[in-house]
Amino acid sequence: MSGWGSWFGGGGAAKKDAPKNAILGLRSQLEMLSKREKHLQSQADEQDNLARKYVSSNKNAAKAALRRKKQFEHALEQTSAQIMTLEREIYSIESANINKETLEAMKSAKKAMQQIHGGLTIDKVDQTMEELREQHAIGEEIGEAISQGVATQAMDEGELDEELEALQQEELDNKMLKAGSAPVSDQIQRLPAAASGELKGKATQEEDEEEELRKLQAEMAM
């Protein structure tokens, strides 16, 4: 039967499940020993109570109870030691199984990395990076060319605005020349702000000079 099991892969499955089955068996035994431990502790406590009960009235019964108590305590110590041994074995098997599974996972990771890097070489990586750098440079050149085109268009719009202002000023000048009989105040209002300010300053200065001249004429008349 073992040969047939190995032929169909049963042996491998049994080997894989061996740690699990061992832990299940140990836990089952541990559960039984735990129940026995509680029972022995209960029996020892019961005999202790009997010994206390007969300590004064019946010394033989008290001694017999103490003797049974010692037997239960001895069995209890053995059971507790067995429980500790089983717990240690369970921990050891679990740790060994975790180490084995961790190693298998690392082996799988190694195989995956080998498959990933199988078609890669340093030369291929360098070539790819160089091609990426070239594409980035081309993209930057294209972006600069597009930006320059936008700037040129904006500059052309500015030149158009300047030419339009020049035409408007020329038309305004022609209207002022044609309207020679127009009041001076209207002509001043049509002048730029800076020129208007200068004319106002000159007019004020002339008014001051005329005022001083009138004062001198008045003094001479006296």
Reading the chain (222 residues) residue by residue, the pLDDT tens digits are 444 344 344 566 677 788 888 889 999 999 999 999 999 999 999 999 999 999 889 999 999 999 999 999 999 999 999 999 999 999 999 999 899 889 999 999 988 888 888 877 888 888 889 999 999 999 888 888 887 755 555 556 777 778 878 888 888 888 888 876 444 445 445 445 444 455 556 667 777 777 776 776 666 566
Residue 188: what pLDDT? Answer: 46
Q: Find all residues with CB under 8 Å of 22, minimum gap 6, and list them.
A: 93
Query: Phi/psi zone of residue 120: left (φ > 0), alpha (ψ -120 to 50 degrees), beta?
Result: beta
Of 121, 143, 168, which one is at a domain's C-terminal end?
A: 121
Residue 185: what pLDDT? Answer: 47
Assess whether 102 and 161 both reside in one domain.
Answer: no
Assess whether 79 and 93 both reside in one domain.
Answer: yes
Can you give the residue range of the structural domain that contains 212?
A: 184-222
Assess whether 169 and 210 both reside in one domain.
Answer: no
The DSSP secondary structure of 74-126, one letter per residue, reads HHHHHHHHHHHHHHHHHHHHHHHHHHHHHHHHHHHHHHHHHHHHTT--HHHHH
- Give buried/exposed letters for 187-200 (b at 16+ CB in 10 A, else e): eeeeeeeeeeeeee
Assess whether 155 and 207 both reside in one domain.
Answer: no
Assess whether 20 and 116 both reside in one domain.
Answer: yes
Residue 65: what pLDDT? Answer: 93
Assess whether 34 and 116 both reside in one domain.
Answer: yes
What total of structural domains would you count in the chain?
3
Residue 194: what pLDDT? Answer: 46
Q: How many residues are there in the chain?
A: 222
Q: Is residue 139 part of a domain?
A: yes
Residue 167: what pLDDT? Answer: 84
Assess whether 221 and 203 both reside in one domain.
Answer: yes
Q: Is residue 160 part of a domain?
A: yes
* Apex 29 CA angle, 26 and 32, nearest 5: 150
Q: Output the CA–CA distances (angstroms, integers) from residue 173 to 135, 141, 148, 161, in the order listed.
A: 57, 48, 38, 18
Q: Is residue 7 part of a domain?
A: no
Q: Look up residue 53 and give its amino acid.
A: K
Assess whether 21 and 72 both reside in one domain.
Answer: yes
